[in-house]
Amino acid sequence: MKVGILDSTLREGEQTPGVVFTVEQRVEIAKALSDIGVTMIEAGHPAVSADIYEGIKRIVKMKKEGVITSEILGHSRAVKRDIEVAAELEVDRIAIFYGISDIHLKAKHHVTKEEALKIISETVSYAKSHGVKVRFTAEDATRADYQYLLEVIKTAKDAGADRISIADTVGVLYPSKTRELFKDLTSRFPDVEFDIHAHNDLGMAVANALAAVEGGATIIHATVNGLGERVGIVPLQVVVAALKYHFGVEVVKLEKLPEVASLVEKYSGIPMPPNFPITGDYAFVHKAGIHVAGILNDPSTYEFMPPQTFGRNRDYVIDKYTGKHALKDRFEKLGVKLSDSELDQVLAKIKANPSARFYRDVDLLELAENVTGRILKPRPPENIQAIVSVKCDSNVYTTAVTRRLSVVQGVKEVMEISGDYDIIVKVEAKDTNELNQIIESIRSVKGVRSTLTSLVLKKL
């Protein structure tokens, strides 16, 4: 099966509300994408702003030096000026887009169908005359008049486009329809290669991308973490996992996906939900007792592929959904041997406290101490100093959060910093319980998005 990924994190991804990448970040993201092996990188629309222009310039330079190996694309409206700007950057391919549905022709472009064909033909051949490869994107293709879409493809192809992107711009496709659409297009235009650009407005972008591939599409547009206009497009990590599982093809280095996902999470400021497929914190974390009992015998009972395939590890959590197999395994891992009746008693205590969200290892050891009367855990530290690194929400003033943090009980010092985190808070507590309470209070301060705690044990 011939299929590759075009990653558009730097173009479509930056169209996510609130997301902007610096030139340095663009370069770093492009390098990471090339390193995992995406076929094409849509590096931006250079006519939009000077930093995007600069970013593409740097990325193209790296391509020329062999540091980046993916094909580099520049986005362009169907206007000569945009094409010239992309061409002077010496991208490998110019991607010209033009809305071709009746609504786009009328309300956006104010042209007739015939006029649009002329514009498409002229701009594609103008781009081609600069000696670059050209892709034409039929924007809003999935709401366009079908006969007209066919005319558009023929026009773009005759003018020199060797790839056509079928853009489901507002996300209205449905998998079986998508497959039929691409089957028909690829049989009518055997010498054209097709891209699928699927938006996720109805949550079907990945399914539509796979269906397009079944129908003959050879490039899937994706963004890391599914970024993009409105709710975004196909998430890279999900579609490549689906390609591996369903079609047996490995189009990028799967084990590197978490690294790329966290890089883009950090630079985009859009947090990844824990229940996000493949790279979310909980993607390989099990909970229900029956599930955990199953995976302890054979992980494939509740996993479709080993987490190691994606550079992840499996885990399970303990709460009222836990069963004795999970509990026994957890205590064994903690080096504690409990009899069956002791395990039953610990489990009964867990079930009797149904609102506890997570049992940490220290909590479990404490329960086991209560049941057995033996000392099992190291004495909890006393007089603790901790450094809490705080990340703020992207839409708040750090200084305002700093002020709110400085009055939290137990907080000794607050400093604004720059780097991965925004604020450093120094706290002192008499024991771990109190420390946990302070950290909870810090987390509940308005504007605080996440925290990371490091401990400095100190006799006061």
Contacts to ligand COA by CB under 6 A: 45, 47-48, 77-79, 97-98, 108-109
Calculate the CA dihedral of residues 58, 83, 100, 112 and round it to 10 degrees: 160
Nearest approach in angstroms of CB 277 to ligand COA is 26
Radius of gyration of the chain (CA): 27
Q: Could you tell me what percentage of the chain is helix, strand and coil, using 3-state DSSP and rounding each to the nearest 5?
A: 45, 20, 35
Pairing of strands 40-42, 193-198: unpaired
**Spatial separation of the C-alpha atoms in residues 129 and 108, rounded to whole Å:** 27
Using Cβ positions, the residue closest to ligand COA within the complex turns out to be 77
CA atoms of 437 and 109, how far apart (whole Å): 58
Among ligand COA, Zn ion, none, partner that 60 touches (CB below 5 to 8 angstroms by kind):
none
- Smallest distance from the beta carbon of 77 to ligand COA, in angstroms? 3
Residue with tokens 């005319």: 151
In 59-132, beta strands by DSSP E: 71-77, 93-99
Which helix (H) or strand (E) is 347 found in, with range? helix 340-351
Residue 104 vs 179, nearer CB to ligand COA: 104
Can you tell me which residue has the tokens 């479709």?
304
Contacts of 102 (CB under 8 A, 6+ apart): 144, 145
Residue positions annotated with a catalytic role: 291
- Which one, 13 or 258, has the nearer CB to Zn ion? 13
Rounded distance, CA 104 to CA 117, Å? Answer: 13
Q: Which does 109 bind (CB under 5 to 8 A by kind): ligand COA, Zn ion, none?
A: ligand COA
Nearer Cβ to ligand COA, position 57 or 104?
Answer: 104
Which residue lies nearer to ligand COA by CB, 48 or 288? 48
- Comparison of 136 and 321: residue with beta carbon closer to Zn ion: 136
Cα 407 from chain centroid? 36
What lies within 8 Å, CB to CB, of 380 at 6+ separation is: 362, 431, 432
Q: Which residue is nearest to Zn ion (CB)?
A: 12
Q: How far is the CB of 108 from ligand COA (least distance, A)?
A: 5
- As measured in angstroms, the least distance from the Cβ of 9 to ligand COA is 14
CB of 210 to Zn ion, least distance (A): 18
